[in-house]
Amino acid sequence: MLAAQAAFRDDLSLDGNEDKIADDEMMSEEQKSEILQKALNMAASNGDVDKVKKLLEGKARPYVDVNGPDEEGTSPLIYASCFVR
């Protein structure tokens, strides 16, 4: 997960722009889903409850899956059960 987090940070930092990505008409549905799913996986693995809530309750919701595995096969739901208190 650490390698995935580093790659994601280098690739794109959302900085609260989840809604902009969800609304971006220039991005494909697949691109939106890939970016936002990575953001959900990272937020869950870092115990960032506010970010997880924003992704699951905001415009990004159609593009994320709490059971969607990351590159290592672990889902945000598993991360959240381990790291969110």
- Mean pLDDT for the stretch of residues 3-19: 62
For helices 29-45 and 76-83, angle between their N-to-C axes, nearest 10 degrees: 20
**Residue 21, CB half-sphere, CA atoms under 13 Å: how many?**
25
E strands, the chain, in order = none
70 backbone dihedrals φ, ψ, rounded to 5°: -85, -170
pLDDT tens readout for residues 16-25: 789 999 999 9
- pLDDT score recorded for residue 16: 75
When pLDDT is averaged across residues 8-37 and rounded to a whole number, the result is: 84
CA distance 61 to 56: 5
Delimit the domains of the chain by residue range: 2-10+29-83
At 60-85, the pLDDT tens digits run 999 999 999 998 999 999 988 887 66
